[in-house]
Amino acid sequence: MTQGQQVIEAMRSNGGYATLRRLNELIDFSSWKTKTPEASVRRIVQENGAFFKIQPGLWALEECREAVLEHFQLKAGNQHSEEQFSHGYYQGLLIEIGNFKHYYTYVPAQDKNRLFLDKTLGEISNSTILPEFSSYDHIRSKARTVDVIWFNTSRMMPAAFYEVEHSTDIKNSLGKFYELQDFHALFRIVADKSRRKEYEDKISASIYDDIRDRVGFLSYDRVVTMYEGLNNISLVVW
């Protein structure tokens, strides 16, 4: 069996779709005469017409296209379904990264039924109920709507706030971060790299002087790289 056939069979066994990280877990590389089998898998799915890309890091078999798109509730030409799936996908990646790094992961209750691969966000996160890290209602109100929060498990205090901005106004997220700035935590806008300039323009406004050095932009591609590199701690950066 060729390497390409092995990748196809691995994806079939996973329901016709898989992240590259999952493929690397499924495939037996013992017969592959290469020091970088993960790179070979990436090349195969990118160059072999048997596969199509759903999102960065997530691929599916052409023979299973209809069933996979139905599973993910993706409708061709429907922007709303694509936005809903993309938002949940990147929330899921951030939750999985946080879980791997032993953080207590939170996702808003209104997002708990969003699908991430074969589970919902509510199933893979630690909670959809915000921990009692503050007694101030206005602070908790802002934090409750943040897309993903990582809490340290020793004191249950926020370690990182992530807002996924697929198409909505980045200023809304910056406003949340401004209100939450008194916490010793990371603040990250997560979006397609094409929105970096927009982010830089908005964070440069004088109203954000107090938080500018603490807020960062994290591209979708970088989140995928972080997720795929979880087994190699040197690749995992915030």
User: pLDDT digit string (tens) for 130-176?
Assistant: 999 988 898 999 999 999 999 999 999 999 999 999 888 999 999 99
pLDDT, mean of residues 40-68: 96
Q: Domain limits of the chain?
A: 3-71, 79-235
The residue with tokens 């009692």 is 132
Q: Can you read off the two tokens belonging to residue 97?
A: 């990264």
Residue 203 has pLDDT above 50, yes or no: yes
What 3-state DSSP class applies to 76?
A: coil
CATH code for the domain defined by 3-71: 1.10.10.10
Question: In the predicted model, is pLDDT for residue 238 greater than 80?
Answer: no
Beta bridge partners of 127: 106
Given a contact cutoff of 8 angstroms between Cβ atoms, the answer to whether 50 and 61 are in contact is yes
**CA-closest candidate to residue 19, choices 122, 115, 117:** 117
- pTM score, two decimals? 0.92
N-terminal to C-terminal alpha carbon distance within the chain: 39
What is the structure's pLDDT at 75?
87
Report the 10 Å Cβ neighbour count for 163.
23
pLDDT of residue 231: 67
The pLDDT tens digits for 105-115 are 999 999 999 99
